[in-house]
């Protein structure tokens, strides 16, 4: 009978699409096999296990995500870069919830070493903040706050956590303004750092 023409890459790509539809945590070998019209066992020629599949999806998703992020912040600095980063971040997370969740999966150092996307995603925030003139360890602290705020935002938004009437997009913009102010008035390790109220 006609073969489905599976390859590891095609399987992983389809898994990523599936993740965007049903959630990263809900991708199964069975569903993927059904999608290709083959038996479950057939997929094991291409991926070792569900866990392996998830990891590969994570690597793929990180590559895609990093691509968007890097395109967004290229040639920008300061507030401009912050805004561009944030919009690219939110857009990707909302458009590709499965892939986005995949990028947040915990991965081993070995996988990290082979995933340019993940490394790129780690390097982007500090690069983006360069124009704010923060030195270590403030830079690390600031990056952590931003990562947290962005991740928290899209996670809560994606899970329908903002039930209010106020448009989420507007709150997001205001939050960015506030973060910009925090970055410009960063409480460096020495002083108390209270700006005017």
Partner DNA sequence: GTAAATTCCTAATATACCTAGGCAGGGTGG
Partner DNA sequence: CCACCCTGCCTAGGTATATTAGGAATTTAC
Report if residue 185 touches DNA, rule: CB under 7 A: no
In the bound state with its own copies, the residue whose beta carbon lies nearer, of 39 and 169, is: 169
Which residue in 21, 44, 95, 130 binds DNA (CB under 7 A)?
44
Cα–Cα distance for residue pair 188/137, rounded to 1 Å: 9
Q: Which stretch binds its own copies (CB under 8 A): 4-12, 41-49, 85-93, 136-144?
A: 136-144
Cα angle, residue 97 at apex, residues 68 and 47 outer, rounded to 5°: 90
Residue-by-residue DSSP string for 116-147:
HHHHHHHHHHHHHTGGGTPPTTHHHHHHHHHH
Q: How far is the CB of 36 from its own copies (least distance, A)?
A: 26
Q: How many residues bind its own copies (CB under 8 A)?
A: 48
Round to the nearest angstrom and report the end-to-end CA distance of the chain: 74
Cα–Cα distance for residue pair 154/149, rounded to 1 Å: 9
Query: Does residue 18 contact residue 98 with C-beta atoms inside 8 Å?
Result: yes
Q: How far is the CB of 101 from DNA (least distance, A)?
A: 16
* Chain contacts with its own copies (rule: CB under 8 A): 25, 104-106, 137-138, 140-142, 144-145, 147-153, 155-156, 159-162, 164, 166, 168, 170-172, 174-175, 177-179, 181-187, 189, 193-197
* Chain contacts with DNA (rule: CB under 7 A): 1-7, 28-31, 37-42, 44-46, 48-51
């Amino acid at each position: 009978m006609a073969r489905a023409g599976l390859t590891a890459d095609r399987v992983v790509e389809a898994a990523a699409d599936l993740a965007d539809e049903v959630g990263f945590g809900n991708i199964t070998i069975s569903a993927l096999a059904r999608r290709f019209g083959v038996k479950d066992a057939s997929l094991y020629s291409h991926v070792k296990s569900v866990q392996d599949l998830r990891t590969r999806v994570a690597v793929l998703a990180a590559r895609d995500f990093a691509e968007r992020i890097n395109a967004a912040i290229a040639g920008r600095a300061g507030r401009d870069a912050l805004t561009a980063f944030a919009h690219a971040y939110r857009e990707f997370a909302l458009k590709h919830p499965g892939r986005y969740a995949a990028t947040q999966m915990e991965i081993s150092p070995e996988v990290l070493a082979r995933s340019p996307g993940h490394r790129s995603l780690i390097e982007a925030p500090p690069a983006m903040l360069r124009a704010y003139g923060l030195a270590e360890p403030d830079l690390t602290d600031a990056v952590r706050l931003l990562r947290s705020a962005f991740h928290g935002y899209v996670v809560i938004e994606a899970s329908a956590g903002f039930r209010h009437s106020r448009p989420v997009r507007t709150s997001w913009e205001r939050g960015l303004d506030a973060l910009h102010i925090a970055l410009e008035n960063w409480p460096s390790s020495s002083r108390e750092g209270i700006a005017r109220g």
